[in-house]
Amino acid sequence: MRELKRLRTRANRTQEEVVQELSALARRLHAEGRLSKAPTFTLRQYSKWENAEPPPWPHPDSRAVLAAYWKCPVEELGFRPPTDGDRGGPLVLTPVPMISQASPGPLLVAAGSSPLTDEAPPPWLAETTTSANRAGEWRISPEEVELLSGAADDNYAIDQQFGANRLWRPTRAHLLWTHHMIDRGIYDDALGQRLHALAGKLTTSLGWFCYDAGLQTQARQYFSEALNAANYTSDDVLASRTLSNMARQAVDLNKGREAVRFAKLGQRHAELWNAPSRVTALLAIREAQGHARVGDVFNCEAAIKRAWQEWEHGDHELDPDWAHFLNLAELTCLEGMCRLDLGQVARAQDLLARSEALQDVAHSRNRGMCLGRLSVAAVQNGDVDHGLAAATQALRLVESGMSSTRTTAQLTIVHDGLIPHRRARGVGDLLEQIRTHVA
């Protein structure tokens, strides 16, 4: 049974009911400005989608509504985009959107998650405070948008050096203000596109900052909305970035298969904007990390090889800011993490030690993560002295002001790995220091 039909049957819906609810959702999304026009759904059309082989590829607006209704990409519903030979122009793959919880049907309610502050809705659902009769008085200037965009870039640089525990709150405030500008301000089409692009940029950054701060549920919520924004604005660059972030988070959540799926979907989006080699290298190593987490040595090795081949093409003027972190040190570290997950501890220790020596101060958070994993690899490899040294350096970074829950969580893993060696020289003191910082 095709997935589209299986979901409808499980929801105890008739085709007629689904068509009516899809039409209602389309009108609402159009009224909210999320669709250029409200697509029409018919019983005959829906029946073909369930039964034809292959099913007709829906119009972009119809794909967006279907993805919002069923809360999954249309590719998972059994649809397949036509090949380039069948259709001209770029193909826009449909990510999972987050939609308003005021939806009329039970299938349209997004999965609940804890708010970032008490009873605070996410920024794209928050009510703006400017009254309607004043909206016409507020003309948005390009300088305001540029200022917020620069602030987003600054926060990303701070994250690379110090971690994101103290970044998600100001970024959430920036996102709230951006949505306020979108909802209440006056601007032309060109500036409107910049505002929506900024909202997407802030949303995926906020997802990453929540992830680094250990707020995993909120991170997934923001990543989902960033994909929603990418879909409605046909922004494949934003989709590639967000899917890369989601793949990394999925590995940490021990969802290796999901990480592979996200990375591959990101690669398909990257093809649509002819992404430079640094981006394709990043998505390939994200795929490798997913394979490594589930112990798939063959596919992991193949993905690692592709990542290095792409990375060795060198810098490109089109490299986006969010991919600049993938330098020699970082790619070496990510391969080392793959080797550690595969149980290749000696090889992992060698790679992670090389990476740590190459890390620079601008990426000290990543250095802290690398040191933590180096300590784990060294201890598992029977090299307690080097494991102790790496853990000590990681702890010093935390003491110097690094604010990353991911890094402190890594220290917890180091702590547990060192317990069997607590009688070794210096280990007991380090364990006590770690407990002081991660308690």
**Which pair of structure tokens corresponds to residue 156?**
């990303």
Same domain for 158 and 72, yes or no, is: no
pLDDT in tens, 271-288: 999 999 999 999 999 999
Q: Tell me, yes or no, whether 332 and 437 share the same domain.
A: yes
Look over the chain and give the mean of its residue pLDDT values, rounded to a whole number. Answer: 84
**Which of 309, 325, 341 corresponds to the end of one domain?**
325
Q: Would you say residue 175 lies in a domain?
A: yes
What pLDDT is stored for residue 107 in this prediction?
34
Q: Is residue 249 part of a domain?
A: yes
Higher pLDDT, 93 or 21: 21
d(CA 408, CA 368): 9
Do residues 425 and 336 both lie within one domain? yes
C-alpha pair distances (Å), 71 with each of 5, 58, 316:
15, 16, 36
Judge if 167 and 224 occupy the same domain. Answer: yes
**Does residue 82 have a cis bond before it (omega within 30 degrees)?**
no
Of 405, 336, 351, 415, nearest in space to 379 by CA: 415
On whether residue 101 sits in a domain, the answer given is no
Q: Are residues 166 and 261 in the same domain?
A: no
pLDDT over 50 (residue 135) = no
**Do 270 and 370 have their domain in common?**
no
Give the pLDDT score at 96: 45
> Band of the pLDDT at 127, cuts 50, 70, 90?
low
Q: Are the C-beta atoms of residues 213 and 250 closer than 8 Å to each other? A: no
> Does residue 119 carry a pLDDT above 70?
no
pLDDT of residue 120: 58
pTM over 0.85: no
128 pLDDT above the threshold of 80: no
Q: Which pair of tokens denotes residue 59?
A: 């119009």
One-letter identity of residue 138: W
Alpha-carbon distances of 123 from 82, 260, 343, rounded to whole Å: 36, 29, 42
Q: Residue 9: left (phi > 0), alpha (psi -120 to 50), or beta?
A: alpha
**CA–CA gap between residue 103 and residue 12 (Å, rounded):** 18
pLDDT tens sequence across 172-192: 999 999 999 998 889 988 999
Question: Is residue 86 assigned to a domain?
Answer: yes
Same domain? For 250 and 310 the reply is yes
Residue 436 lies in a domain: yes
Tens digit of pLDDT for each residue in 213-257?
999 999 999 999 999 889 878 899 999 999 999 999 999 999 999
pLDDT band at 44 (very low <50, low <70, confident <90, very high): confident
Where residue 106 falls among pLDDT bands split at 50, 70, 90?
Answer: very low
The tens digit of pLDDT for each residue in 295-329 reads: 999 999 999 999 999 999 998 988 999 999 999 99
Domain match, 179 and 274 both:
no
**259 and 306 share one domain:** yes
25 neighbors 39 (Cβ within 8 angstroms): no
Find the helix or strand (DSSP H, E) in which 295 lies: none
Q: What total number of domains does the chain contain?
A: 4
**Confidence at 108, pLDDT banded by 50, 70, 90:** very low
* Same domain, yes or no: 15 and 41: yes
Q: Say if 301 falls within a structural domain.
A: yes
pLDDT of residue 122: 65
Whether 110 is covered by a domain: the verdict is: no
| CATH code of the domain in which 296 resides | 1.25.40.10
Alpha carbons 65 and 34: distance in angstroms, whole number: 10
Domain boundary among 178, 213, 233: 233
Domain identity same for 248 and 205: no
Q: What confidence tier does 161 reach under pLDDT thresholds 50, 70, 90?
A: confident
Range of the domain at 90: 3-94
Indicate whether 123 belongs to any domain: no
What pLDDT score was predicted for residue 147? 92
- 426 and 318: one domain? no
